[in-house]
Amino acid sequence: MNLLNWLRRKSAAPEGRFRAALIPFFQSGRPAAWADDPSEQVRHFRHWVFAAVRTIANRVAATPLCVYRSEGGGLTEITDPAHPALRLFNTVNPFHTRYWLWSQTITFLELTGNAYWYVPRNGLGAPAEIWVCPSQGMRVLPDSRDFIAGYEYTQGGRTVSFGRDEIIHLRLPNPADLYYGQGPLQAAAETVDSHEAMKCVQRQLMRRGAWPGGVLESDSRLDDAAISRLRAQMELKYSGADNAGKWLVLEAGLKAKQITLTPSEMAFAESAQLARDEILAIFGVPAAVIGLSQDVNRAVADAMDTIFARYCVAPLLQLITDQINQDLMPRFDPALTVQFESPVPADRESQRRMAREDFQAGLLTRNEARAEGGYEQVGQGDRFYVPVNRVPERE
């Protein structure tokens, strides 16, 4: 064995052993509940899960993505719409739009923890289109040496194989799996089940009768035929949401007695609200942001929107940006990078207050302070004004 071959084997061996040891460890602990079944996760895209995911997806889709070129130690934004990279994110593919790309990507990320882009190349070898693949049909093919050998997409009994470089895999962090991400829905699975069970009970109550329950009392004994007749009349005339509020007419000798709700039954509505709040909290969406404006004024709503953008949307955008810069942009040019504009709304009042204080302290000219506050420039506004009560210290 020559020295060159020995060095190659020594340099490759630790990496191969590490990956080969990790793969079976992470694959052995995946649970079998619906919380880890992408097909079932997608089916739970309803109720408050739908509201939370749609809110996040809309905010991400409304945030502009910029393309930059690294040159001279700095970044220069590319604004030419004909540039291949910029055109790719603006046109996506012949059937879908930029909004659809980000909305669909975020929806799969939040529901399943994974989003897959199929990126075919043109005749020059550059990315030409982006197609979002349904996460519930995609499977990662592990490899002990190269980490990922490729991907398989299955639908309707047909399987399509993809090379490793044909798929961009976006995934949220998952400490239990090396290949698949974990979304907020998986963390909220038990709460979502509880909420859907409560919705089912509520639907059954409304279907069978808006009056939750009661008894008919009689001083005389009723035979089976009379009981069946009364029951049929009650279900026909008073059961269902459409019959709520109708007057109850009883035969002679019958008395209606309502069954009072226990404290645990009266807390049913509170439990549903607690489940809603827990679902929204796991997704990182404040209730005010999705339109629940109970006891919320403008200042509180703005604060909640800032919290949502800073702690929910911004980290998600950074995760996507890093993956794109690692896997997609080098296919155009290693000097190209992308970056979303900040989703955090500017605090105009704080900017104006700081500009006013800096102007009064003599740190900014009048026009500089007006620019910070979002106002137009004025004539003779480029001079500094120094407070008369401040003079240089004598030596």
Tell me the C-alpha distance between 79 and 66, whole Å.
8
Confidence of residue 212 (pLDDT cuts 50, 70, 90): very low
Confidence of residue 258 (pLDDT cuts 50, 70, 90): low
Q: What is the mean pLDDT of residues 229-248?
A: 63
Q: Provide the b/e sequence for 187-208 (b: ≥16 CB within 10 Å).
A: ebbebbebbbebeeeeeeeeee
Q: Which pLDDT does position 388 carry in this prediction?
A: 66
Q: Tell whether 321 is covered by a domain.
A: no
Q: Which pLDDT does position 106 carry in this prediction?
A: 95
Q: Which pLDDT does position 249 carry in this prediction?
A: 56
pLDDT digits (tens, 9 = 90+) for 304-341: 888 898 999 999 999 999 999 999 999 998 999 999 99
Last residue of one domain, picked from the residues 160, 187, 214: 187
Nearest to 78 by CA among 69, 87, 89: 69
Q: Tell whether 6 is covered by a domain.
A: no
Yes or no: say if 141 and 163 are a contact pair by the CB < 8 Å rule: no
Q: What is the mean pLDDT of residues 87-112?
A: 93
Q: Tell whether 301 is covered by a domain.
A: no
Q: Which pLDDT does position 207 carry in this prediction?
A: 64
pLDDT digits (tens, 9 = 90+) for 148-198: 889 999 888 899 889 888 999 999 999 888 889 998 998 888 888 887 777
CB atoms within 10 A of CB 337: 19
Q: Tell whether 314 is covered by a domain.
A: no
Q: Tell whether 83 is covered by a domain.
A: yes
Q: Which pLDDT does position 28 carry in this prediction?
A: 42
Q: Tell whether 79 is covered by a domain.
A: yes
Q: What is the mean pLDDT of residues 72-80?
A: 86
What is the total count of domains within the chain?
2
Confidence of residue 216 (pLDDT cuts 50, 70, 90): low
Q: Which pLDDT does position 228 carry in this prediction?
A: 78
Confidence of residue 114 (pLDDT cuts 50, 70, 90): very high
Residue 385 structural domain: 347-395
Last residue of one domain, picked from the residues 145, 166, 187: 187
pLDDT digits (tens, 9 = 90+) for 115-153: 999 999 888 888 999 999 999 989 999 888 888 889 999
Q: Tell whether 320 is covered by a domain.
A: no
Last residue of one domain, picked from the residues 161, 187, 213: 187
E runs forming strands in the chain: 65-71, 74-78, 114-118, 131-133, 138-143, 147-155, 158-163, 167-171, 214-218, 254-258, 336-340
Q: Tell whether 39 is covered by a domain.
A: yes
> 65-74, 75-84, 363-372: which has the minimum mean pLDDT?
363-372
Confidence of residue 359 (pLDDT cuts 50, 70, 90): confident
